[in-house]
Structure 1
Amino acid sequence: MAMLTFASLSLFRSVLLVVLCLCCTGDARFKGFRRFVDRSEAIQQHTARTGPKVEDHWFTQRLDHFNGADSRVWKQRYFINDTFYRPGGPVFLMIGGEGPANPAWMQYGSWLTYAEKLGALCFLLEHRFYGNSHPTEDLSTANLHFLSSRQALADLAHFRSVVAATQGLTNSRWVAFGGSYPGSLAAWLRLKYPHLVHAAIATSAPIHATVNFPEYLEVVRRSLASHSPECPLLVKQATDTLSQKLKDPLTYSNITKDFQLCSPLQLDSLMDSAHFLESLAGNFMDVVQYNEDNRAFEGVVGTNITMKVLCGVMADASLGGVYERYAAVARLMLHTFSLRCLDARYASYLQDMANTSWSGAGAAGGRQWVYQTCTEFGFYQSTDSPNQPFTGFPLPYHLKQCYDIFNMSAAELDVEAAVKDTNEYYGGYGLRTSRVVFPNGSIDPWHALSVTLDLSEQLPAIFIKGTAHCANMYPARAEDLPQLALARDHVFLLLQQWLKE
């Protein structure tokens, strides 16, 4: 599930892409939600080893739900688990996010524990334009016009209506599940289609859109400090030292070696330096967002890298000064993801993201999610706050990516107006509906845009101290904090109560 951090997808271009994710269902490095690991191949291999094959199913959707004159249709992928279903039981609808829908979620996760207890039928619907759900022949900017949260909600509503009618589930109570961006979709589905969805579990859901999101890095600082008070201070010293070195071209050769770059460092513009600095900051952003979670069941590499590990490297004086330790973190992450080197060139990133082919590097989710941030959400994790340890990637850097990737001017693409429209349409923090619960972890930077205090008796929040992004959605394990186990129980009690209403 993404919303995941999201730097500009640079660091692990071949491994990481932009996400928010079903957090948790496809997971993403998203740009704004943006830390999303493109691990679909690893997931498929892991699932094949550990359980029965999950069959793909296909549902016919309209390309444009809001234009009756447009009759074009396409096939949307979905999965089913009817193992626990008892006639008369509820229907659980897991919402896919900004990446491939992960079939592992049809075999694992807290929602299946709830399904077993409540006799629920489970569906997972992949988000349009992600994974294998291709509504158009390519990802041109003109075609991406049909990619939006509103079209995605209409997909979900149509899927629910048709499946209910054809499978005899009209009188069943449907519950939407999602984490990160899909968590927002779950809440908004209940808001916009209350006659179709009885309740929603909106985990780690950033329901308030914002162009500039420096608070993300503020939470990263606080989360690092919760493990080691000196850790964010060391990171700050390291990033300041690196920034000073970048002012002297004579240091570039050593920087290239220290950070294991794929090509000699060359900074032709502020975009180049910002992209490099954001790529390195992404190491910490990713780890904090998913700190000590239980994604290993998905076949995810790197789950053993935690805040404790990174802060341990930053505190290790035997490695040298803070600059050397910061470089050691970067090399550790490359090694963890089996990457030979770091391609930190903005031109390479731009080339990947501007590719409109479904076979392009950005098609795994990066290009699509960046488009959604540019046209709906913003979520740009800038360094425009003094209360965080990084430097060098301010808001204008993020906005210029919108213009560069989609070849549009600021006049043609008004991000601020788009974000304002999103909050007007959904309500932002002022969301008004019922039977939606908002679980969030205190370590997760995305909680800053979610609901952490009850909005009403029917819109409760569950704030889980010490846990990260979408932690309550993962399968339970012995190492889980007591408050995480209690949070899962709390969600179940709410489900029991709401399904009786």
Structure 2
Amino acid sequence: MFIVWMIFLFFTFREGHGYQYETKYFTVPVDHFSFALNATFKMRYLVNNTHWNQESGPILFYTGNEGDIKMFAENTGFMWELAEQLKASVVFAEHRYYGESLPFGNKSFSSEENLGYLTAHQALEDYVDLITNLRGAKDIPVISFGGSYGGMLTAWFRMKYPHIVQGAIAASAPILEFEGMNKCSAFYRIVSSDFRSASDECADSVRNSWGAIDQLAKSADGLAWLSKAWSTCKPLTKASDITDLKDWLVDVYTNLAMTDYPYPTSFLMPLPANPILEVCQYLRDPKLGAKELLGQIFKGVSVYFNYTGKAKCLDVESADGALGDQGWDFQACTEMVMPVCSDGVNDMFEAKPWDLNKYSADCTKKFAWVKPQPDLVAKRYGGREMAKLSSNIIFSNGLRDPWTSGGVVESLAPTVLSIIIPEGAHHLDLRASNVADPDSVKNARNLYKKHIRNWIRQYKEK
């Protein structure tokens, strides 16, 4: 039995970064797999039909990520450009539990019971219902797009529901970033190589900074100096504060690698072009004393958290801007268990082996009854083997993107292709065209257009 919930509630006209869209809401079940829970919620989606030929044009559908869907709509310009060329409708669907799509309103994160419906599987079912409704009785081809976690979803969408979506562009999609599928050390090695490509001194300065932080953290005076020198919003007074600071730094370096675009952007934070080069101009002498070295580190990371000069203090609570930390923490503690580790020798980080027991214990502290399932994704979506059996999927990977560590980096079947973008950071290929784009990105987009047109043609000829 299949129920489609079809209540359109209201829409408004919005504009962001030059892209205009209607904001709509579509009612879906909280639980697609049990009729015992008679509850629904309003899933938000954004749509633009300016160029759509409703008789022959496709739907270009973005599978929303772990954040407000507007952020992704305004940073995925390739779809908007393609819509004009293909006379297509553009739809950006918001992932449940992110942005405004909250199944239990302001109580969505209040208990593990309410959070239990936050899974990729449920989100994909939401997208199935929405597309089914948008199509109505018409035979309309749908091409799915997504970057990062959204790229994983778009690949799984095509694998699991080939009758719903006719092709998929999965950019920076780490569907192999799971237990037994890759080496846990690969992620931080790529981050480190990005910084080392700017200069050896830059990467070595970061590596030496961890010991410098520990040296100052040994005394109250050292902590007081660090709090003042780094303008922290809250004084650093105890060991857990130092742990939080180090975790924040790791996130910052990772995000800089992900968003190392060749032109200014504001995806996670407002950043200049080639932000790693901007950071590394301050990190030229890894042999400085602790205070001098950390003074330089602070100038470097200020490029990330305070490029606009508007930040009054350093808040180490989050480095991810508009991403939905609450929801992703839960997913990471249940189905999205992605092992990463560092050794402090082949990367610029402190040595931290992957420890599933510790990881599970930390998750239990956050969510009482939750236990990570490191093999769930492999069982549910099949990883490399499932992809081999699929068709009409293009995986793209930028060599400057740390998530390439879990990406599909070789073609798996005649129509399951892998595209490598040497100069590419995190899903750079899905962004709008820019004069600073390297040729490898331009070539990738041209290849996507060729295959998308072919997928649409095949669908119409069936």
Return the TM-score normalized by structure 2. 0.85
Structure 1 residue 422 corresponds to structure 2 residue 377:
yes
Contact 1:277 1:392 in 2 (8 A): no
Which sections of structure 2, spanning at least 5 residues, go unmatched? 1-11
Instruction: Name the amino acid aligned to 1:280.
Output: L
Which residue pairs with 1:438 in the alignment? 395
Give the alignment partner of residue 194 of structure 1, picking from 162, 166, 169.
Answer: 162
Which residue pairs with 1:95 in the alignment? 63
Which residue pairs with 1:152 in the alignment? 123
User: Which SS does the other structure have where 2:265 is aligned?
Assistant: helix
Based on CA coordinates, which of the two structures has the bigger radius of gyration? Answer: 2
Structure number with higher relative contact order (C-alpha < 8 Å, ≥ 6 residues apart): 1
Contact 1:214 1:384 in 2 (8 A): yes
Which residue pairs with 1:230 in the alignment? 201
Return the TM-score normalized by structure 1. 0.79
Aligned-partner Cα distance in 2 for 1:107–1:221: 25
Contact 1:239 1:389 in 2 (8 A): no
Change (3 A) 1:366 1:227: same
Aligned-partner Cα distance in 1 for 2:39–2:279: 50
Contact 1:239 1:323 in 2 (8 A): no
Which sections of structure 1, spanning at least 5 residues, go unmatched? 1-43, 353-360
Which residue pairs with 1:339 in the alignment? 311
Q: How does 1:7-26 map onto structure 2 within 5 Å?
A: none
Change (3 A) 1:459 1:214: same
1:301: Cα distance to partner?
Answer: 1.7
1:323: Cα distance to partner?
Answer: 3.1
Aligned-partner Cα distance in 2 for 1:393–1:404: 20
Give the aligned CA root-mean-square deviation in angstroms.
Answer: 3.0
Aligned-partner Cα distance in 2 for 1:77–1:224: 38
Aligned-partner Cα distance in 2 for 1:437–1:419: 26
Deviation sequence 1:72-119 (CA, Å, 0-9, x none): 111111111112212222211111111111177279611222222222
Which residue pairs with 1:471 in the alignment? 428
Q: How does 1:117-136 map onto structure 2 within 5 Å?
A: 117-136=85-104
Deviation sequence 1:265-301 (CA, Å, 0-9, x none): 2224xx4432221212333221111002557376952
Which residue pairs with 1:404 in the alignment? 365
Aligned length: 432
1:382: Cα distance to partner?
Answer: 4.2
Deviation sequence 1:392-442 (CA, Å, 0-9, x none): 766567555422222x2xxx4332xx1201111111232331110001110
Instruction: Name the amino acid aligned to 2:167.
Output: A
1:365: Cα distance to partner?
Answer: 1.4
Change (3 A) 1:49 1:413: closer
1:162: Cα distance to partner?
Answer: 2.0
1:58: Cα distance to partner?
Answer: 1.1
1:213: Cα distance to partner?
Answer: 4.2
Deviation sequence 1:204-233 (CA, Å, 0-9, x none): 001124369442211101111223233212
User: Which SS does the other structure have where 2:452 is aligned?
Assistant: helix
Aligned-partner Cα distance in 1 for 2:411–2:456: 20
Instruction: Name the amino acid aligned to 1:204.
Output: S
User: Which SS does the other structure have where 2:191 is aligned?
Assistant: helix
Aligned-partner Cα distance in 1 for 2:268–2:205: 32
Which residue pairs with 1:262 in the alignment? 233
Instruction: Name the amino acid aligned to 1:431.
Output: M
Kindly, what percent of the aligned residue pairs are identical?
A: 26
Change (3 A) 1:282 1:108: closer
Give the alignment partner of residue 183 of structure 1, picking from 134, 151, 168.
Answer: 151
User: Which SS does the other structure have where 1:70 is aligned?
Assistant: coil
User: Which SS does the other structure have where 1:431 is aligned?
Assistant: helix
Aligned-partner Cα distance in 1 for 2:297–2:255: 15
Change (3 A) 1:497 1:71: same
